[in-house]
Amino acid sequence: MRIAALDDETGQLELIQHTMGGIGHECHGFSDGRSLLRELRQQTYDLLILDWSLPDVQGPNVVKWIRQDLNSRLPILFVTNRREEADMVEGLSAGADDFMVKPIRIAELEARVKALLRRAYPSQHEAELVFGPYHFFPHSRTLQVNDEVVELKHREYELALFLFQNLGRLLSREHLREAVWGLGAETPSRSLDTHISRLRTKLELRPANGFLLSAIYGLGYRLEAIEPDTLLGMPGATAAAT
Protein backbone atom coordinates (compact mmCIF):
# COMPACT_ATOMS: atom_id res chain seq x y z
CA MET A 1 0.00 0.00 0.00
CA ARG A 2 1.05 3.61 -0.57
CA ILE A 3 0.93 5.64 2.65
CA ALA A 4 1.52 9.33 3.34
CA ALA A 5 2.70 10.49 6.77
CA LEU A 6 2.66 14.10 7.99
CA ASP A 7 4.68 15.04 11.09
CA ASP A 8 7.01 17.99 11.66
CA GLU A 9 9.16 16.03 14.14
CA THR A 10 11.88 14.31 12.11
CA GLY A 11 12.34 11.46 14.57
CA GLN A 12 8.63 10.69 14.69
CA LEU A 13 8.31 10.82 10.92
CA GLU A 14 11.25 8.46 10.47
CA LEU A 15 9.77 6.05 13.04
CA ILE A 16 6.46 5.98 11.19
CA GLN A 17 8.14 5.43 7.84
CA HIS A 18 10.36 2.66 9.22
CA THR A 19 7.37 0.96 10.86
CA MET A 20 5.29 1.08 7.70
CA GLY A 21 8.18 -0.23 5.63
CA GLY A 22 8.52 -3.09 8.06
CA ILE A 23 5.00 -4.33 7.29
CA GLY A 24 5.42 -3.99 3.54
CA HIS A 25 4.09 -0.52 2.73
CA GLU A 26 5.63 2.40 0.84
CA CYS A 27 5.52 5.43 3.15
CA HIS A 28 6.12 8.98 1.90
CA GLY A 29 6.93 11.54 4.56
CA PHE A 30 5.94 15.22 4.77
CA SER A 31 6.97 17.75 7.40
CA ASP A 32 4.47 20.52 6.66
CA GLY A 33 0.83 20.66 5.69
CA ARG A 34 1.21 22.71 2.52
CA SER A 35 3.61 20.20 0.97
CA LEU A 36 1.15 17.39 1.66
CA LEU A 37 -1.80 19.33 0.28
CA ARG A 38 0.11 20.11 -2.92
CA GLU A 39 1.01 16.44 -3.27
CA LEU A 40 -2.57 15.26 -2.76
CA ARG A 41 -3.70 17.38 -5.71
CA GLN A 42 -1.47 15.34 -8.03
CA GLN A 43 -0.87 11.98 -6.34
CA THR A 44 -3.00 9.29 -4.75
CA TYR A 45 -2.45 7.34 -1.53
CA ASP A 46 -4.13 4.46 0.27
CA LEU A 47 -3.89 5.88 3.80
CA LEU A 48 -2.76 9.04 5.63
CA ILE A 49 -1.06 9.14 9.04
CA LEU A 50 -1.43 12.67 10.39
CA ASP A 51 -0.05 14.73 13.27
CA TRP A 52 -2.28 17.37 14.84
CA SER A 53 -0.11 20.44 15.51
CA LEU A 54 1.99 21.56 12.56
CA PRO A 55 3.87 24.81 11.84
CA ASP A 56 1.53 25.94 9.08
CA VAL A 57 -1.81 24.17 9.60
CA GLN A 58 -3.81 22.20 12.14
CA GLY A 59 -4.47 18.53 11.50
CA PRO A 60 -8.29 18.78 11.64
CA ASN A 61 -8.17 21.44 8.91
CA VAL A 62 -6.16 19.07 6.71
CA VAL A 63 -8.79 16.38 7.23
CA LYS A 64 -11.65 18.76 6.39
CA TRP A 65 -9.88 19.86 3.21
CA ILE A 66 -9.40 16.25 2.12
CA ARG A 67 -13.03 15.37 2.82
CA GLN A 68 -14.62 18.55 1.41
CA ASP A 69 -12.31 19.91 -1.30
CA LEU A 70 -10.89 16.63 -2.56
CA ASN A 71 -14.10 14.74 -1.79
CA SER A 72 -11.88 11.82 -0.81
CA ARG A 73 -12.59 8.89 1.51
CA LEU A 74 -8.87 8.30 2.04
CA PRO A 75 -8.49 6.50 5.42
CA ILE A 76 -6.93 8.91 7.95
CA LEU A 77 -5.25 8.05 11.25
CA PHE A 78 -4.35 10.78 13.74
CA VAL A 79 -1.11 10.12 15.67
CA THR A 80 -0.75 13.00 18.09
CA ASN A 81 0.24 14.29 21.52
CA ARG A 82 -3.36 15.41 22.03
CA ARG A 83 -4.94 13.08 24.58
CA GLU A 84 -8.15 14.73 25.82
CA GLU A 85 -11.51 13.22 24.91
CA ALA A 86 -12.52 16.53 23.34
CA ASP A 87 -9.51 16.28 20.98
CA MET A 88 -10.52 12.80 19.88
CA VAL A 89 -14.07 13.95 19.28
CA GLU A 90 -12.87 16.94 17.25
CA GLY A 91 -10.53 14.82 15.12
CA LEU A 92 -13.10 12.16 14.37
CA SER A 93 -15.80 14.78 13.75
CA ALA A 94 -13.52 16.45 11.18
CA GLY A 95 -13.55 13.18 9.25
CA ALA A 96 -10.62 11.12 10.56
CA ASP A 97 -11.11 7.36 10.86
CA ASP A 98 -8.99 6.60 13.92
CA PHE A 99 -6.97 8.30 16.64
CA MET A 100 -3.93 7.21 18.67
CA VAL A 101 -1.86 9.09 21.24
CA LYS A 102 1.93 9.53 21.25
CA PRO A 103 4.42 8.24 22.25
CA ILE A 104 4.15 5.90 19.29
CA ARG A 105 3.96 2.24 20.22
CA ILE A 106 5.02 0.30 17.15
CA ALA A 107 2.75 -2.70 17.69
CA GLU A 108 -0.28 -0.45 18.19
CA LEU A 109 0.52 1.62 15.10
CA GLU A 110 0.87 -1.54 13.00
CA ALA A 111 -2.41 -2.93 14.34
CA ARG A 112 -4.37 0.28 13.74
CA VAL A 113 -3.02 0.66 10.20
CA LYS A 114 -3.79 -2.97 9.34
CA ALA A 115 -7.33 -2.61 10.71
CA LEU A 116 -7.96 0.59 8.74
CA LEU A 117 -6.68 -0.97 5.52
CA ARG A 118 -8.80 -4.10 6.03
CA ARG A 119 -11.91 -1.97 6.46
CA ALA A 120 -11.11 0.34 3.55
CA TYR A 121 -9.97 -2.34 1.08
CA PRO A 122 -11.63 -5.61 2.14
CA SER A 123 -11.23 -7.34 -1.23
CA GLN A 124 -7.46 -7.33 -0.91
CA HIS A 125 -7.60 -9.94 1.85
CA GLU A 126 -9.68 -12.58 0.05
CA ALA A 127 -8.46 -15.82 -1.53
CA GLU A 128 -10.50 -15.23 -4.70
CA LEU A 129 -11.52 -11.86 -6.06
CA VAL A 130 -14.50 -11.77 -8.42
CA PHE A 131 -15.40 -8.80 -10.61
CA GLY A 132 -18.09 -9.89 -13.05
CA PRO A 133 -16.44 -12.38 -15.44
CA TYR A 134 -12.96 -11.60 -14.05
CA HIS A 135 -11.75 -14.06 -11.37
CA PHE A 136 -8.39 -13.37 -9.67
CA PHE A 137 -6.64 -16.05 -7.60
CA PRO A 138 -3.87 -14.17 -5.71
CA HIS A 139 -2.26 -17.28 -4.19
CA SER A 140 -1.63 -18.87 -7.59
CA ARG A 141 -1.34 -15.49 -9.35
CA THR A 142 -3.78 -16.51 -12.05
CA LEU A 143 -6.68 -14.76 -13.73
CA GLN A 144 -9.68 -16.36 -15.38
CA VAL A 145 -12.08 -14.50 -17.65
CA ASN A 146 -15.32 -16.32 -18.44
CA ASP A 147 -13.75 -19.46 -16.89
CA GLU A 148 -10.73 -19.36 -19.21
CA VAL A 149 -7.21 -18.63 -17.95
CA VAL A 150 -5.68 -15.49 -19.41
CA GLU A 151 -1.91 -15.61 -19.73
CA LEU A 152 -0.38 -12.51 -18.18
CA LYS A 153 3.21 -11.59 -17.49
CA HIS A 154 4.18 -10.82 -13.90
CA ARG A 155 3.82 -7.03 -14.16
CA GLU A 156 0.63 -7.30 -16.19
CA TYR A 157 -0.98 -9.48 -13.52
CA GLU A 158 0.12 -7.13 -10.73
CA LEU A 159 -1.24 -4.11 -12.58
CA ALA A 160 -4.54 -5.79 -13.46
CA LEU A 161 -5.11 -6.95 -9.89
CA PHE A 162 -4.27 -3.54 -8.47
CA LEU A 163 -6.67 -1.78 -10.85
CA PHE A 164 -9.54 -4.12 -10.02
CA GLN A 165 -8.84 -3.90 -6.28
CA ASN A 166 -9.15 -0.14 -6.60
CA LEU A 167 -12.17 -0.14 -8.86
CA GLY A 168 -13.57 3.36 -9.32
CA ARG A 169 -10.54 5.13 -7.80
CA LEU A 170 -8.40 7.57 -9.75
CA LEU A 171 -4.84 6.27 -9.35
CA SER A 172 -1.92 8.55 -10.14
CA ARG A 173 0.79 7.31 -12.47
CA GLU A 174 3.31 7.39 -9.63
CA HIS A 175 0.98 5.36 -7.41
CA LEU A 176 0.60 2.71 -10.10
CA ARG A 177 4.34 2.56 -10.79
CA GLU A 178 5.13 2.12 -7.10
CA ALA A 179 2.45 -0.54 -6.63
CA VAL A 180 3.67 -2.62 -9.58
CA TRP A 181 7.40 -1.86 -9.92
CA GLY A 182 8.23 -0.75 -6.37
CA LEU A 183 9.48 2.45 -4.78
CA GLY A 184 12.53 3.90 -6.50
CA ALA A 185 12.41 1.52 -9.45
CA GLU A 186 13.71 3.12 -12.61
CA THR A 187 10.75 2.54 -14.88
CA PRO A 188 10.55 4.25 -18.28
CA SER A 189 7.58 6.61 -18.45
CA ARG A 190 6.08 4.76 -21.39
CA SER A 191 6.33 1.35 -19.70
CA LEU A 192 3.18 1.96 -17.65
CA ASP A 193 1.27 3.10 -20.74
CA THR A 194 2.43 0.01 -22.64
CA HIS A 195 1.22 -2.30 -19.87
CA ILE A 196 -2.12 -0.47 -19.71
CA SER A 197 -2.55 -0.86 -23.45
CA ARG A 198 -1.81 -4.59 -23.28
CA LEU A 199 -4.31 -5.10 -20.48
CA ARG A 200 -7.04 -3.31 -22.42
CA THR A 201 -6.47 -5.75 -25.25
CA LYS A 202 -5.90 -8.97 -23.32
CA LEU A 203 -8.75 -8.41 -20.85
CA GLU A 204 -11.06 -6.66 -23.33
CA LEU A 205 -11.69 -3.82 -20.89
CA ARG A 206 -14.46 -2.10 -22.77
CA PRO A 207 -18.07 -1.05 -22.02
CA ALA A 208 -19.52 -4.16 -23.66
CA ASN A 209 -17.82 -6.26 -20.98
CA GLY A 210 -18.88 -3.99 -18.13
CA PHE A 211 -15.59 -2.21 -17.46
CA LEU A 212 -13.91 0.92 -18.76
CA LEU A 213 -10.23 1.76 -18.25
CA SER A 214 -9.76 5.49 -18.79
CA ALA A 215 -6.73 7.76 -18.88
CA ILE A 216 -7.19 10.96 -16.87
CA TYR A 217 -4.99 13.55 -18.54
CA GLY A 218 -2.11 14.72 -16.37
CA LEU A 219 -3.08 12.49 -13.44
CA GLY A 220 -3.36 8.76 -14.07
CA TYR A 221 -5.86 6.00 -14.78
CA ARG A 222 -9.25 4.84 -13.48
CA LEU A 223 -10.93 1.47 -13.97
CA GLU A 224 -14.71 1.70 -13.63
CA ALA A 225 -17.54 -0.79 -13.64
CA ILE A 226 -20.31 0.38 -15.94
CA GLU A 227 -23.48 -0.86 -17.53
CA PRO A 228 -22.89 -1.93 -21.16
CA ASP A 229 -25.21 0.76 -22.52
CA THR A 230 -24.09 3.57 -20.18
CA LEU A 231 -21.95 5.31 -22.78
CA LEU A 232 -24.34 4.97 -25.70
CA GLY A 233 -25.10 8.33 -27.18
CA MET A 234 -22.51 10.18 -25.09
CA PRO A 235 -20.05 12.44 -26.98
CA GLY A 236 -16.62 10.86 -27.14
CA ALA A 237 -17.86 7.50 -25.91
CA THR A 238 -15.87 5.56 -28.51
CA ALA A 239 -12.66 7.48 -27.76
CA ALA A 240 -13.06 7.04 -24.03
CA ALA A 241 -13.22 3.29 -24.36
CA THR A 242 -10.01 3.00 -26.37
Q: State pLDDT tens for residues 207-237.
A: 878 899 999 988 899 999 987 555 454 444 4
Percent of residues, the chain, with pLDDT higher than 90? 64
**What pLDDT, on the 0 to 100 scale, is given for residue 208?**
79
Model-wide pTM > 0.85 = no
Say yes or no: do domains 2-120 and 126-240 share a fold: no
Architecture of domain 126-240: Orthogonal Bundle (1.10)
Place 186 in a pLDDT band, splitting at 50, 70 and 90.
low
**Average of pLDDT values for 168-172?**
92
Residue 204 has pLDDT above 70, yes or no: yes
Range 2-120 classified under CATH 3.30.342.10: no
For the stretch 124-158, pLDDT in tens is: 656 788 898 899 988 888 999 988 999 999 999 99
Angle at 183 between CA 105 and CA 172, to 5 degrees: 100
The reported pLDDT for the residue numbered 125 is 59
Check residue 234 and give its pLDDT: 46
68 — pLDDT class (breaks 50, 70, 90): very high
- Tens digit of pLDDT for each residue in 5-16? 999 999 999 999
Judge if the upstream peptide bond of residue 103 is cis by omega within 30 degrees of 0. Answer: yes
pLDDT at 93: 94
The domain ranges of the chain are 2-120, 126-240
**pLDDT per residue as tens digits for the range 21-31:** 999 999 999 99
